[in-house]
Amino acid sequence: MDHGILALTVFLLFCLLLESHIRLPFWLAWVGKWHPMVLHFPIVLLLLMVLLGLTNQRMAPVLVQFTVLATLVTAISGFFLAVGNGEKGDLLFWHQYGGSLLALLAGLWYVLFQYGLHQKGYAKGVLAVIMVLTFTTGHFGASITHGEDFLALPRNPEKKELPENPKIYAHVVHPILETNCIPCHNPNKKKGGLLMTSLEGLLKGGEKGNTLVPGNVEESELLRRLHLPKTDEEHMPPDGKKPLEASEIAILERWIALGALDTLTLAQLGPEEPLTNLVKALMAPQESEQWKELPLVADSTLQRLASDYLTIQRLANHSNALTITAFSPPIYDPSPITALQAIAQNVVALDLSNLPLGAQEIDFVAQCTPLQRLDLDGTPITSATLGKLAHLEELQFLRLHGTSLDDGALSHLAQFKNLKKLYVWNTGIKQSALREFKEKNAGIEIEDGIQDSLESFFRKSDTLGLKQNGAP
């Protein structure tokens, strides 16, 4: 057994000194994968050896031999795993070399034990260092596996609220990756050579390449692995990790299909773009408390009222808060919209843009008292009919672009108590009247114009699902 300890010690030193020149065969890389499974046993043996040594208790030589052998095997398998993972981060560096030093010190103490010097002060000092390294190296290893804050004191998680107009990458996509992917693809654990902490890292890709191909869902390796069967060893996240929700995968798909931009915002997406409702669904739980008193509405009711030109969705699973988007059919018929009166008390977001609305449809909108977001772009609404909606006290977001409103609309707009954002470009409202309205209603963010360069961008961005006459 002594010869085995000597051989493994020399081999470990050889690996550490020549690491930059070593290229592992596939079977040794496979051996490295056993490292997380074998490391727990030598930790127990090391702590037992330290306890017996510091208290001057008698210990069997075979215990010391087996402890040192197990520690060396663990350190070597860890070396194989680290080399197989490619580039190291700081945590992996300190874990690898801390573990290697721990194994070498265990071998040194075994020599002292063999020569009867294990009760000397310096021998006990070696044991003390072994104990400290056992805990610190274990901590680094656990931080790599479970995250750097895995030992943080428990606290109530604070849900990050999305802004009114979130950036799709920064506020939606990155948090999904941060929860599900970045624990294995960060500077400290760059699995597969892939860094997912930034958009630049995603575009650069890893060993497999093509992790993310802007505008090409089929060629993006990230999505291919997400869609693999859970039994496939290439499926991501790996076995034992919580898989992504279907809605999270759909968000990644649509973001990539739209070009994987870090500048894309929710306001740039038209209501017909699937990503719009996916993002709004993420925003909905923040406001679920105020909607818990909404009337119950059955799925069968929503299915009955929906059609090819009318989309009705719950803002969250099992929520009674609804978002409705209506599209312009070849022949317009107001009855599908007026039939929505049965669920008017559940509607919190409504898009009727570019429809030739009449008095009946406006009466329906007036019944949607929980309404917070209303889109009437390109409709024939007038200042007089707008007055019918002034009692919608929950309304926060109102789009009136491309309508024939005049200055008389401003008196009605001032009655919306909770209005936060208003779009009124390309209307009949005079700029002088609008300036005065802005001064009196400083709490309302008003969009009343668009730069020529931005307008050109929006008109060319059909792939983003933007309306031909619309902007943010």
In a domain, 280, yes or no: yes
pLDDT the model gives residue 173: 93
The token duo for 189 is 């654990």
Residue 157 lies in a domain: no
The residue to which tokens 């954002």 are assigned:
421
In a domain, 422, yes or no: yes
Residues 289 and 192 reside in one and the same domain: no
Residue 86 is predicted with a pLDDT of 56
- Residue 259 pLDDT > 60: yes
User: C-alpha angle with apex 443: 442 to 446, nearest 5 degrees?
Assistant: 75
| Per-residue pLDDT tens digits for 383-411 | 888 989 989 988 999 999 999 999 999 99
Whether residue 203 is contained in a domain is answered as yes
- Mean residue pLDDT across the chain: 83
In degrees to the nearest 10, what's the CA dihedral of 383, 385, 390, 396? -80
* Closest residue by Cα to residue 417 from 395, 446, 442, 386: 395
pLDDT at 12: 84
Kindly tell me if the per-residue pLDDT of 472 is higher than 90. Answer: no
Whether residue 181 is found in the same domain as residue 318 = no
Give the pLDDT band (50/70/90) at residue 4.
confident
Query: 302 and 401 in one domain?
Result: yes
Alpha helices of 320-388 — where are they, by DSSP H?
Answer: 335-338, 359-367, 383-386
Which of 2-11, 76-85, 459-468 is the least confident region? Answer: 459-468
Residue 159 lies in a domain: no
Q: Give the model's pLDDT for residue 13.
A: 87
Do 314 and 301 meet the contact criterion of CB atoms below 8 Å apart?
no
The band of 85, judged by pLDDT with boundaries at 50, 70 and 90, is low
The 10s digit of each residue's pLDDT in 319-346 is: 899 999 999 999 999 999 999 999 999 9
Last residue of a domain, one of 96, 113, 146: 146
Q: How confident is the model at residue 318 (pLDDT cuts 50, 70, 90)?
A: confident
**Residue 163 tokens, joined:** 């802004």
Residue of 242 and 369 predicted with greater confidence: 369
Instruction: Say whether pLDDT at 166 is over 60.
Output: yes
Contact 80, 35 (CB under 8 A): yes
Same domain, 188 and 324: no
156 vs 297, residue with greater confidence:
297
Q: Say if residue 115 is in the same domain as residue 176.
A: no
Answer whether residue 297 shows pLDDT above 70: yes
Q: Is residue 153 part of a domain?
A: no
Residue 162 inside a domain? The answer is no
Q: Does the pLDDT at position 461 exceed 60?
A: no
- Digit-coded pLDDT (tens) for 96-124: 888 889 999 998 988 998 888 888 889 88
Residue ranges of the alpha helices (H) in 238-355?
Answer: 246-257, 274-283, 299-305, 335-338
Residues 27 and 141 occupy one common structural domain: yes
Higher-scoring residue by pLDDT: 133, 22: 133
Indicate the number of domains in the chain.
3
Domain-located, residue 472: no
Q: Where among 257, 279, 296 does a domain terminate? A: 257
Confidence of residue 39 (pLDDT cuts 50, 70, 90): confident
* Predicted local confidence at residue 26, as pLDDT: 72
* Whole-number percent of the chain with pLDDT over 90: 32
Residue 306's domain comprises 267-464
Phi, psi angles (nearest 5°) of residue 337: -80, -45
> Could you tell me what percent of the chain has a pLDDT over 70?
86
Confidence of residue 454 (pLDDT cuts 50, 70, 90): very low
Q: Of 180-184, 227-231, 454-458, where does mean pLDDT reach its minimum?
A: 454-458
Tell me the C-alpha distance between 415 and 251, whole Å.
37
pLDDT over 70 (residue 284): no
**pTM summary value:** 0.43
Domain boundary among 84, 113, 146: 146
Q: How confident is the model at residue 458 (pLDDT cuts 50, 70, 90)?
A: very low
User: So what's the pLDDT on residue 353?
Assistant: 93
Is the pLDDT at 453 greater than 60? The verdict is no
What is the CATH classification number for the domain harbouring 446?
Answer: 3.80.10
Tell me which residue of 247, 98, 119, 233 sits closest to 173, measured CA to CA.
Answer: 247
- DSSP calls for 221-259: HHHHHHHS-TTSTT-SSPTTSPPPPHHHHHHHHHHHHTT
Helix H or strand E encompassing 49 = helix 40-54
Vertex 34 angle, CA 131 and 231, to 5°:
135
Q: Output the pLDDT for position 149.
A: 56
Q: For 341-371, how does the pLDDT look when each residue is reduced to its tens digit (9 = 90+)?
A: 999 999 999 999 999 999 999 999 999 999 9
Say yes or no: 369 and 444 in one domain: yes
Q: Give the H or E element holding residue 350.
A: strand 347-351
Whether the predicted pLDDT of 451 surpasses 70: no
Do 298 and 403 have their domain in common?
A: yes
DSSP letter at 268 equals G
The alpha carbon dihedral of 330, 331, 334, 340 has a sign of negative
How confident is the model at residue 470, as a pLDDT? 37
Ranges 61-70, 152-161, 282-291, most confident:
61-70
Q: 318 or 437: whose pLDDT is higher?
A: 437
